[in-house]
Amino acid sequence: GSGMVPSWGPVATAGDVAALAVDAPAVAVLEAYGDGADDADEVLALTGRVLGVLQAWLVAPAFESGTLVVVTRGAVPAGGDADVTDPAGAAVWGLVRAAQTENPDRIILLDTAAGSGLDVTGVEMEPVLAAVLATGESQVAVRGTVLSAPRLVRDTTGAAVPDISDVPAAFDSEGTVLVTGGTGSLGALLARHLVAEHGVRHLVLVSRRGPEAEGARELAAELGELGAESVAVTACDVADRDAVAALLGSVSAQHPLTGVVHTAGVLDDGVIGTLTPERLAYVFGPKVTAVGHLDELTRDMDLSVFAVFSSASGLIGAAGQGNYAAANAYLDAVAHRRRAAGLPGVSLAWGLWEQSTGLTAHLGEVDQARMSRGGVLPIAPAEGMGLFDAALRVPAALVVPIKLDLRRLRADAVAGGGLPGLLGGLVQGGRRRARAGDRQAGAGDSGGGLAARLAGLTSQEQEALLLDFVRGHVAMVLGHAGIAKVGAETAFKDAGFDSLTSVELRNRLRGATGLKLAATIVFDYPSPLALARYLHREVVPDGVTAGPDVDVDEARLRRGLASLPLARLRAAGLLDALVRLVELNDHEPPIGMVDDADDETAIADLNVDGLVQLALGDK
């Protein structure tokens, strides 16, 4: 469909954002294309530039109600063409997905076809922008005249967790399998599984510390008992090309390399505002750089399996993991590229593993609560290996082994937590509220519900309800069973809030109230009570309440008002309002048409609500 395009302007750097803020068009367009070098330096340069623009744009007051459209070219496999022609652009998608989760309804990803010639100087950008904004989707690919949005679908080819006997012989028992991160908890779990269930007899387990890693020697011995004939545990930095080349050269000619499983990875979590190019580079090392070397240096070998362990965070956009999401989205792109070139390649974008395994071992109670509240349940080791086997049977470059509680997802979507668009196909009726015009209506509905609950309450009752409302959301974010643990005046920072939990609380309150709340709301109003009072001012117009601010002795108030001379009310500027109230509420004749004795009766007949609003000077 077509529609009017709001005012828009291009930005390429953080500096451009400041310049554009002078006119502040409704839409800013950032082009993020790789230069074709297809290496780690290019990925880092492009994601670093996009990060700079995101950071500048998100904090610029002039763009608070605007939309940033990040345009990539060939970064996602859309339509019939499954190839990804710009893996650096794919990493941008991972980074921006995290930014979208942290800042709902503010950023749109738009991928165009390679060679489409669509750019911010081209006239055809306007109708495309109009069409994309009209969809209400936050992630869109344009191929010709077709717009598509990403959705996860259930795999039916590898239905459920298979019996191992159904799995085709993916691994050659005479060949050698290389496992990176092989001495870590996931790598070790996988190595045992390959030997015991897949008949793999020759393994090279690689990690930074190699044989010096904790439990490495015991693991090698255990694999021997399970049936492995040779297990080499090697120290190697897989981000070092020469080291990887030497490692591959050390594999025995009698048992050539036939399989690669890359499980290595590191985390360095932080919300978009706190990330830096250095923090991108740190996480990219064992992911982007290492997989680039493994992909390039094994291309002439006869591999039957090239599997990389990626993360669903790169697809769903885990808040606080922009750098990790970008690195994993790049891994997914490498698998697509390999498959398009006729080579084996599969990326397994794992959900949440049980806490004992390496990368999730750092997760605290709050992180675990966040994941499970989002409907993502932890995968037990045995389940995970079953999912690994199922993934090998799926004829796709990207598989998402994840355990989801769909009922929880649906409930969370309804409660204002929203639902990532990617999961919309799995949850009926849970599609995220549309953006654009629909977005305003959706937000208003939520706020209207809250306003309706507050109607008819006294000011104190309203504040108490809002305080419990805030405490309820705080308890949910912190993983508490109820609000009892949430003190009304306990500072958020003392309750355990960090930048990530602050972002989540803001987004939940935003979804539930329909208010545009600043990202700094938790710092501006640093306790549940302060935040509740702020919401009170925002949700209830002009502080109007349906009852008194103090407990009133009604009979005494009526007597007092009845004894007031009319001139006193007139002098206080209350008489006109009183006349209108009497006309509207009691259908009595106006005060000027009856004598003074009847005036007093008219006032005496007003209910307390009317009297108090009158006394407060509310017109």
Q: Tens digits of per-residue pLDDT, 137-170?
A: 999 999 888 999 999 988 887 555 455 555 555 8
**CATH number for the domain harbouring residue 334:** 3.40.50.720
The partner residues of 259 in beta bridges, in order of sequence, read 177, 305
pLDDT value of position 117: 65
**Does 493 fall in a domain?**
yes
If you average pLDDT over each of 258-262, 439-443, 499-503, which comes out highest? 258-262
The answer as to whether 383 is a domain residue is: yes
Q: Are residues 89 and 202 in the same domain?
A: no
The answer to whether residues 571 and 591 belong to one domain is yes
The amino acid at 545: T
**Residue 367 contacts residue 319 (beta carbons within 8 Å):** no
- Identify whether the C-beta of residue 395 lies closer than 8 Å to the C-beta of residue 123: no
Give this prediction's pTM: 0.77
Cβ atoms of 612 and 581 within 8 Å: the answer is no
Core vs surface per residue 40-67: b (16+ CB within 10 A) or e: bebbbbbbbbbbbbbbbbbebeebeebb
Residue 333 and residue 297 in one domain: yes
Which residue, 120, 149, 178, sits at the end of a domain? 149
In the chain, the number of structural domains is: 4
The reply to whether 505 and 582 lie within a common domain is no
The residue with greater pLDDT, 596 or 64, is 64
Any domain includes 427: no
Q: How much is the average pLDDT of 59-79?
A: 91
| Separation CA 541–CA 539 (nearest Å) | 6
**Same domain as 594, residue 486:** no
Residue holding tokens 């799926």?
394
73 found inside a domain: yes
Same-domain pairing of 384 and 268: yes
One-letter identity of residue 323: N
- Check whether residue 264 and residue 297 sit in a common domain: yes
State the greatest distance between any 2 C-alpha atoms of the chain, in Å, as a whole number: 116
Q: Show which of 521, 543, 565 is a domain's final residue.
A: 543
- Radius of gyration (Cα) for the chain, nearest Å? 31
Residue 572 lies in a domain: yes
In the Cβ-directed half-sphere of 119, how many Cα atoms lie within 13 Å? 9
Query: Which residues, 6 or more positions from 348, have their beta carbon under 8 angstroms from its beta carbon?
Result: 307, 308, 309, 310, 387, 388, 391, 399, 400, 401
The neighbour count for residue 309, using CB atoms within 10 Å, is 24
The answer on pLDDT for 487 being more than 70 is: yes
Where helices occur in 356-423 by DSSP H, the ranges are: 365-373, 381-393, 406-412
| SS3 track for 197-254 | HHCCCEEEEEECCHHHCCCHHHHHHHHHHHCCCEEEEEECCCCCHHHHHHHHHCCCCC
Q: Which two tokens stand for residue 428?
A: 């009926």
CATH of residue 106's domain is 3.40.50.11460
Q: Is the predicted pLDDT of residue 267 greater than 70, yes or no? A: yes
Residue 425 covered by a domain: no
Mean pLDDT of the chain: 82
Alpha helices of 260-380 — where are they, by DSSP H? 277-284, 290-297, 313-316, 322-340, 365-373
Helix axes 608-615, 575-586, angle to 10 degrees: 160
For residue 428, being part of any structural domain is answered with no
**24 and 98 fall within a common domain:** yes
**d(C-alpha 220, C-alpha 350), whole Å:** 26
Q: What is the mean pLDDT of residues 563-579?
A: 72
Q: What is the phi-psi region of residue 36: left when phi exceeds 0, alpha when psi lies from -120 to 50, beta otherwise?
A: left
138 and 54 housed in the same domain: yes
Residue 86 carries which DSSP code? -
Q: 457 lies in which domain range?
A: 436-543
Q: Long-range pairs for 523-526 at CB < 8 Å and ≥24 separation?
A: 526/491, 526/492, 526/493
pLDDT of residue 550: 47
Q: Is residue 421 part of a domain?
A: no
88 and 196 share a domain?
Answer: no
> Which of 486, 514, 543 is at the close of a domain?
543
Q: 105 — alpha (psi -120 to 50), left (phi > 0) or beta?
A: left
- How confident is the model over 282-328, as pLDDT tens digits? 999 999 999 999 999 999 999 999 999 999 988 988 888 999 999 99
Question: Both 524 and 380 in a single domain?
Answer: no
Residue 31 shares a structural domain with residue 177: no
Residue 552: its pLDDT value, please?
A: 59
CA atoms within 13 A on the CB side of 218: 6
Report the percent of the chain where pLDDT is more than 90.
47
